[in-house]
Amino acid sequence: MGRDLEPGLDRGVSRALTVVELWRYPVKSLQGERLDAARLGAEGVQGDRQWALFDLDTGFGLTARRVPDLLFAAARTRPDGGVEVVLPDGTVAADDAALSAWTGRRVALRSVADAPGARRYENLDDATDEAGPWHPFDGAAGAFHDDPGTRVSLVSTGTTGGWHPRRFRSNVLLDGVGEDVLVGRRIGLGDAVLAVVTHIPRCVMVTRPQPGAVGRDTSVLKTIHRERGGTLAVGALVERPGTVRRGDEATVLD
């Protein structure tokens, strides 16, 4: 697990935290796109979580909490701003009928423009008990983020430790340690300015298997609850839009 920066080093985070990976997830709960550079705006990484699958029978936005197989499909952004869903067998889903056949339930792929207002999702009442009851909650009204109060997620290699960073689906992977102490501060990232506003509570998603030999591991969530109070990674809002690139350093502004 990670550790906080040493006392006195917090204003020198730029020496400790460097961007090593940038990720955009065009469709909620599907695999995303690794980027060399990302434009950050009010809704976070440009093109991030701009699409989601909706269960037509329940009305809920569909996530890998409910349907773990979603993590084995991938989303690709098209040049025209649309999106393609690549199924685990490598085929591109032609329409909602193909996606419904694959998921085994009636679903529709919707963009932000197709689903205005707050969206409802489901989560387990007890994050560590997959057999427990589920409860609905409201997500963001813009891009399909779970938390209405954040738009960019950041985690460090010092925090993920031996766990594969992909489990946590963060937009920004930082090489170093110490993102926890950034909560409540403003940071420069590339030529963007972010306000880091919260620690991110984790759910059963972090235990799910994914492509690339990331196996199911229920101990991940149990460890996060036992050692970190149920949170891992931090969430931020974009105060000043800008572009961030791999190799950029995080700089504490206040």
Cα separation, 178 vs 156, in Å, equals 7
In percent, how much of the chain has pLDDT > 70? 94
Lowest mean pLDDT, pick from 4-13, 35-44, 98-107, 172-181: 4-13
Question: Does domain 10-252 sit in CATH 2.40.33.20?
Answer: yes
- The pTM of this model reads 0.91
What is the pLDDT, as a whole number, of residue 15? 52
